[in-house]
C-alpha cells in the first residue's frame, strides 16, 4: 500500500468514526433524551456534551488533516473535498451550534423551565448536519481511494 493510500485509509476510518458518533447522537441519543423531563433532559444533555466535545472536535480535525495529507501526496482533489467536509464541522459548530451549547450550559444542571426542551430540540436539529458532513466525507474519501486504485 502506498503512503497516500495508507493515509487515505486512516482518513476514511476517522471520518467513519466521526460520522458514526454524530449519527448515533442524532438517531438514538437525542430521541431518548427528549423522552425525559426537562430537568433530567438538561442534566443528560450536559453530561453527553461534556463527553462528546473533545472527541468530535478532535476527530473532525484529524480527519481533515489526514484527508489533506492524502491530497498533498496524491494530488487527487477528492481527498481535499473530503478534508474540507471534515473541517467544515468546526466553523459550522462555532456559528450554528455553539450559541445553543452556551445557552444550555449556562443553565444549572437539573433546572426545569419551558425554554429547555425547545433549545435541546433545536440543538438536535442543527447537530444532525454534523452527521451529514461526516457521512459525505465517508463517501468522498473511498471515492478518492477507488480512483487511485484504477490509476497506474
pLDDT (tens digit per residue) in 101-148: 999 999 998 888 899 999 999 999 999 999 999 999 999 999 998 887
pLDDT of residue 150: 66
pLDDT of residue 77: 94
Q: What is the mean pLDDT of the chain?
A: 93
* Letter string b/e over residues 125-143, b meaning 16 or more CB atoms within 10 A of that residue's CB: eebebbbebbbbbbebbbe
Nearest to 14, CA basis, from 80, 60, 76: 60
pLDDT (tens digit per residue) in 10-33: 999 999 999 999 999 999 999 999
pLDDT (tens digit per residue) in 80-93: 999 999 999 999 99
pLDDT of residue 110: 82
For residues 79 and 144, is the Cβ–Cβ distance under 8 A?
Answer: yes
Q: Is the pLDDT of residue 152 over 60?
A: no
CA 2, chain centre distance (Å):
28
Model-level pTM?
A: 0.90
pLDDT of residue 3: 77
pLDDT band at 4 (very low <50, low <70, confident <90, very high): confident
pLDDT (tens digit per residue) in 35-46: 999 899 999 999
Q: How far apart are CA 31 and CA 47, in angstroms?
A: 16
Amino acid at each position: 500500500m502506498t503512503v497516500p493510500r495508507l493515509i487515505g485509509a486512516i482518513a476514511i476510518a476517522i471520518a467513519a468514526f466521526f460520522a458514526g458518533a454524530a449519527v448515533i447522537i442524532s438517531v438514538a441519543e437525542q430521541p431518548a433524551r427528549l423522552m425525559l423531563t426537562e430537568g433530567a433532559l438538561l442534566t443528560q444533555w450536559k453530561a453527553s456534551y461534556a463527553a462528546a466535545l473533545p472527541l468530535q472536535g478532535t476527530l473532525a480535525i484529524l480527519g481533515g488533516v489526514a484527508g489533506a495529507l492524502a491530497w498533498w501526496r496524491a494530488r487527487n482533489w477528492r481527498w481535499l473535498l473530503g478534508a474540507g467536509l471534515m473541517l467544515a464541522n468546526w466553523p459550522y459548530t462555532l456559528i450554528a451550534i455553539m450559541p445553543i451549547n452556551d445557552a444550555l450550559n449556562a443553565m444549572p444542571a437539573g433546572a426545569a423551565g419551558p425554554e429547555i426542551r425547545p433549545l435541546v430540540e433545536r440543538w438536535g436539529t442543527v447537530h444532525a448536519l454534523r452527521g451529514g458532513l461526516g457521512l459525505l466525507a465517508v463517501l468522498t474519501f473511498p471515492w478518492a481511494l477507488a480512483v487511485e486504485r484504477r490509476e497506474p
